[in-house]
Amino acid sequence: MILASERSRSLPLRVCHLITDLDTGGAERSLVNLVAGIDHREFKCDVVTLIDPGSMAEPLIRAGIPVTSLGMRRSRPNPIALFSLVRHLRATKPTILQTWLYHADLIGTIAAWIMPPERLLWNVRCTDITDVDNERPIRWLVRSLALLSRRPDAIVVNSQRGQSDHERLGYRPKRWVNIPNGVDLTRFQPSANDRPQFRTRLGLRPDAITIGLVGRYHPMKDVKTFLEAGSSLLRCRPDTQFVLCGDCFTHENVDLGEMLTKLQLVRHVTLLGRRADVENVYPALDLLALCSIYGEGFPNVLCEAMACGVPCVATDVGDSADIIGDCGLIVPMRNPEALARACQTLLEGELQELGARARARMVTRYGLERMRAQYESLYRSLTINYC
């Protein structure tokens, strides 16, 4: 038995985080925000990726957090990677192994049978994607994990919708823990004085009504609905400008180009591609739209935009309605006219006042320090009086 008094002498507690990669994404950003800012006197973290780490590994490396890749290739299972993970666990002896996303949940659980950490955590970051045509290959994995869901000591979710969806899919853990994502309120903040400068840098007209979509070009984001809503909105607000920011929102995207041409939006849409300075994009917007149709658990972009004082319109996916509250509007999925009407409604109101309320909501409910404190509390609760 390890008593609490003995545990206090063995600090810091070792926490190993296992994730597919550290490329741009909501789960990846949450992991980086957590690990980079956690109390390193109490928790010693390292991060293991199944495939090459990706761009978001850099801030961890700069902060002195070890990042290890198991060298797998995407969509190509490799048993050698499992043994590499086992060797890593044997060498580092983590108190807690925390896995992020489905593939890491499975591989981490198998490794934990061979080289058990004291505690195993899973992290579920999405709502149900098993019935979506282009996501169906993941169905067998989700079903397998449902059968194994009693194995971890707890499953962390970032949304109530994600928990209820996975309960419906057969997940029966010992314990659910809901920890919403946190937003960096220092990085993402209103910048009214810098707004004209940001717009100039992004190639936006200083006086245009500007509505943005920040994400990646992917079926779940339903970019088509955003663009169709934009086309509709232009009939009553011809001065409106639209911004698409994220992976594959570039002129090299042929499918996107065809949609813009068909909807006669080429002159009205600015394509920014992936931006490392997205905190300078949000303050340049009047509104942010989220049009996702599945998969979203806790959309980070809503929190980031609202922290910058930008009101949001979103489809009813994940916990979007809880995030937005009375600081924006929720619309049905795949309904361009409803999205256009919602944008028009907000634009006719007091955007500055609404943006201030949005910022205050993020400060009160979704600050990054609040998320870190909840994870730290969970780690402590799992390791007290461990036998």
Q: Is 265 exposed, middle or buried (0-12, 13-18, 19+ CB in 10 A)?
A: middle
Q: Is 192 exposed, middle or buried (0-12, 13-18, 19+ CB in 10 A)?
A: exposed
* Rounded mean pLDDT, 147-156: 97
* Rounded mean pLDDT, 157-165: 95
* Rounded mean pLDDT, 179-207: 92
Q: Are strands 269-273 and 240-247 parallel, antiparallel or unpaired?
A: parallel
Handedness of CA 215, 216, 217, 221 (dihedral sign): negative
pLDDT at 10: 61
- Of the pLDDT bands very low, low, confident and very high (cuts 50, 70, 90), residue 30 is very high
Domain segments of the chain: what residues? 4-182+368-383, 192-365
pLDDT at 5: 40
Q: What is the pLDDT of residues 355-370, one digit of tens each?
A: 999 999 999 999 999 9
Q: What is the pLDDT of residues 84-118, one digit of tens each?
A: 999 999 999 999 999 999 999 999 999 999 999 99
Q: What is the pLDDT of residues 327-361, one digit of tens each?
A: 999 999 999 999 999 999 999 999 999 999 999 99
- Of the pLDDT bands very low, low, confident and very high (cuts 50, 70, 90), residue 79 is confident
Report, at the CATH architecture level, how domain 4-182+368-383 is classified: 3-Layer(aba) Sandwich (3.40)
- For residues 74, 78, 80 and 86, what is the CA-based torsion angle, rounded to 10 degrees? 70
Q: What is the pLDDT of residues 245-289, one digit of tens each?
A: 999 999 999 999 999 999 999 999 999 999 989 999 999 999 999
- Of the pLDDT bands very low, low, confident and very high (cuts 50, 70, 90), residue 6 is very low
- Of the pLDDT bands very low, low, confident and very high (cuts 50, 70, 90), residue 387 is very low
Please compute Rg for the chain using Cα positions.
Answer: 22
Handedness of CA 263, 266, 269, 270 (dihedral sign): positive
Handedness of CA 199, 203, 209, 215 (dihedral sign): negative
Contact 243, 285 (CB under 8 A): yes
Q: What is the pLDDT of residues 104-113, one digit of tens each?
A: 999 999 999 9
Whether 13 has a pLDDT exceeding 90, the answer reads yes
pLDDT at 135: 65
Query: Do 4-182+368-383 and 192-365 fold alike per CATH?
Result: yes
- Of the pLDDT bands very low, low, confident and very high (cuts 50, 70, 90), residue 3 is very low
CATH class assigned to 192-365: alpha beta
- Of the pLDDT bands very low, low, confident and very high (cuts 50, 70, 90), residue 229 is very high
* Rounded mean pLDDT, 157-166: 95
pLDDT at 133: 61
Question: Reduced to 3 states, what is the DSSP secondary structure of residue 311?
Answer: coil
Contact 324, 306 (CB under 8 A): yes
* Mean per-residue pLDDT of the chain: 92
Lowest mean pLDDT, pick from 76-80, 166-170, 295-299, 313-317: 76-80
Percentage of residues of the chain with pLDDT beyond 90: 82
- For residues 216, 219, 220 and 224, what is the CA-based torsion angle, rounded to 10 degrees? 90
pLDDT at 24: 78
Contact 112, 148 (CB under 8 A): no
